[in-house]
Every structure is written in C-alpha cells, then in structure tokens.
Amino acid sequence: MSNAIPQATVDAIRVANDVIIEINGQTVNLFIPNNLDALDTNSIYGVKPSTLTFTQYPNVKVWVEWNPDMKRLRKLGFYSEEQLPIIAWFKSTPDVVLHSYIQLQAQYVPAIYDTEEFEVVDLFLGKMQDMSLFRPAKLAPRRV
C-alpha cells in the first residue's frame, strides 16, 4: 500500500460522497447475502438465489444511473460494446458484495423494466493502488 493520498483525505472524500448520496439518493431496501462463505461460489453452476440468505438493511440511500454514457463508463474502467449497464452508487457502509440486491419503489423504476429488484452483478474497482474512494456497482434485474 502506498501513501499517495493521506488517510485523512480519503476519509473526508468518503464522508462527502456519503453526504451527496444521502441528499440525492433514493431510499431502497438493501439485501446483502450473509452465507457466501458456506456456499461453493466456484461451482460450474454458480450460486443459486434460493441457497442464499440475506440480511436486510431498510431505508438505505442509493443513487442509480439508469443510462450512463460510454465515456463515463470508460472513465470508471468498464468497457461495454452493446449494452449500457445500470450503475448504482452506494455509501461507505454497509459493504455491498456480489449477489446483493436492492428493492426500489415502483415509481422510481423506468417503464422498460418489469421488476423492482435489481442485483449487484459486478463491482467497479478504481484505478488507485491502495484505497477505493467510491462504491459504484453494476446492477441487473434480479432473477429468482
């Protein structure tokens, strides 16, 4: 780990990010899997949603970008050819992992989606060597 950015600066940026998401975000129910250690995540069939158990965090704020442009995605380090993903920006806590999902109110979901639940299918990692300042994730409609 390098000391390119002092820890106090990282903490200040994370607090500013949390304030922005608290002001501009949507209130959702967040579900984080709590038994991933007990499951075989390297299975050829992957993790089945029916085998997961979740811890629910009600009234969590999340900022969702339904239509990000390709230039912003490239700056985040995500390259896509045909589809534009849904990007969600989370606060610093709780720690969002793969297979987590959010449950939105129907009024905030665009009409092209017929579900209110969206699963975290990928986590974006920053280009920094030591600390991630922001918590963006790629969402997809949840399949049960």
pLDDT tens profile 96-123: 988 899 999 877 788 788 889 999 988 8
CATH code linked to domain 7-141: 2.40.10
Helix (H, G, I), strand (E, B) or coil at 12: helix
Residue 30 pLDDT more than 90?
Answer: yes
C-alpha to C-alpha distance for 4 and 2, rounded to whole angstroms: 6
Domain boundaries, the chain: 7-141
What pLDDT score was predicted for residue 45? 64
Q: Which of 57, 63, 67, 64 is nearest to 25 (CA)?
A: 63
